């Protein structure tokens, strides 16, 4: 149990276009989902916390107008990178927390590798 | 502020034992996680400690001392596939996960 999927697993887009990444909890309801970004050889960086039915909470330094997060259902959150630029190329990972199951660990999706050309 | 410290990199020999330490200073404490992350992949859950003591799970064990703000992950009978980054993360009083920078473990034959 506790499976999180992410789609797409990798994407290449042109500078200036937008890219949407989906994160789904397949066998549990996730009231809270998290979006991380990881640059090569660096640790995970939390971008935002997404709560179902409410606005996401963004970490300091993350532009909310550039990284649009929607968490419209208990099993789906989306991250849209708007007007992507080469510096947005990174590994984007989502995770979901099962509020019904202690210790409330975060279950990670497989990640999406974004390359902006 | 909140802070989690772990060594940047460690090297060990196949078949040996290695201990990866983690110290933390957070606003509140609701548990400590260890995750394993292979290059280019998402983290996977290894262990969880919320009470003091040692939790053993196969070749991996995790220890916690809340009074010292200290944990370690012990890996026994090291295998080449154990080469990965090991991330320490603490859940604070708001149940937010605070991440360490990770320890890259290199296993040599």
pLDDT at B90 over 90: yes
Residue of B52, B48, B59, B44 whose CA lies nearest to B14: B59
Count contacts between A and B (CB, < 8 Å). Answer: 40
Q: How far apart are CA A46 and CA A93, in angstroms?
A: 9
CB A7 within 8 A of CB A19: no
Q: What is the pLDDT of residue A102?
A: 65
Q: Across residues A63-88, what is the average pLDDT?
A: 94
Question: What proportion of chain B, given as a percentage, has pLDDT over 70?
Answer: 100
Q: What was the pLDDT predicted at A2? A: 80
**A103: pLDDT strictly greater than 70:** no
Q: What is the mean pLDDT of residues A35-40?
A: 91
**Looking at A66-80, A89-103, B54-68, which range is the least confident one?**
A89-103
| Interchain contact, A105 vs B33, CB within 8 Å | yes
pLDDT at B33 over 70: yes
Residue A64's pLDDT band (cuts 50, 70, 90): very high
Q: Out of A44-48, A94-98, B82-86, give the one with best mean pLDDT.
A: B82-86
| Mean of per-residue pLDDT scores for chain B | 94
Least confident of B3-7, B24-28, B96-100: B96-100
Residue B8 contacts A, CB cutoff 8 Å = no
Between B43, B91, B95, which is nearest A108 by CB? B43
- pLDDT, residue B2, reads 82
Contact A109 B42 (CB under 8 A): yes
Q: Answer for the pair A13, A114: CB distance below 8 angstroms, yes or no.
A: yes
Q: Is the pLDDT of residue A100 over 80?
A: no
Q: What is the pLDDT of residue A28?
A: 87
Q: Which of B97, B100, B102 sits opposite A106 (nearest CB)?
A: B97
């Amino acid at each position: 149990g506790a499976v999180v999927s992410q789609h797409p697993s990798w994407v290449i887009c042109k500078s200036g276009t937008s890219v949407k990444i989906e994160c789904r909890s397949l066998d549990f309801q996730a009231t809270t989902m998290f979006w991380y970004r990881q640059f090569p050889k660096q640790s995970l960086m939390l971008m935002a916390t997404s709560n179902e039915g409410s606005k996401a909470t963004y970490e300091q330094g993350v532009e909310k107008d550039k990284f649009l997060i929607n968490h419209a259902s208990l099993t789906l959150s989306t991250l849209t990178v708007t007007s992507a630029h080469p510096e947005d190329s990174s590994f984007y990972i989502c995770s979901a927390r099962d509020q019904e199951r202690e210790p409330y660990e975060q279950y990670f999706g497989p990640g999406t590798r974004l390359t902006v050309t | 502020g909140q802070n989690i410290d772990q060594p940047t990199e460690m090297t060990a020999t196949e078949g040996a034992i290695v201990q990866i330490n983690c110290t933390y200073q957070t606003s509140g404490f609701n548990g400590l996680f260890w995750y394993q992350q292979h290059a280019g992949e998402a983290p996977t859950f290894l262990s969880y400690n919320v009470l003091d003591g040692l939790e053993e799970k196969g070749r991996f064990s995790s220890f916690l001392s809340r009074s010292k703000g200290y944990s370690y992950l012990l890996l026994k009978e090291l295998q080449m596939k154990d080469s990965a980054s090991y991330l320490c993360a603490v859940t604070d009083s708001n149940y937010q996960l605070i991440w360490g920078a990770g320890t890259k473990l290199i296993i040599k034959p």
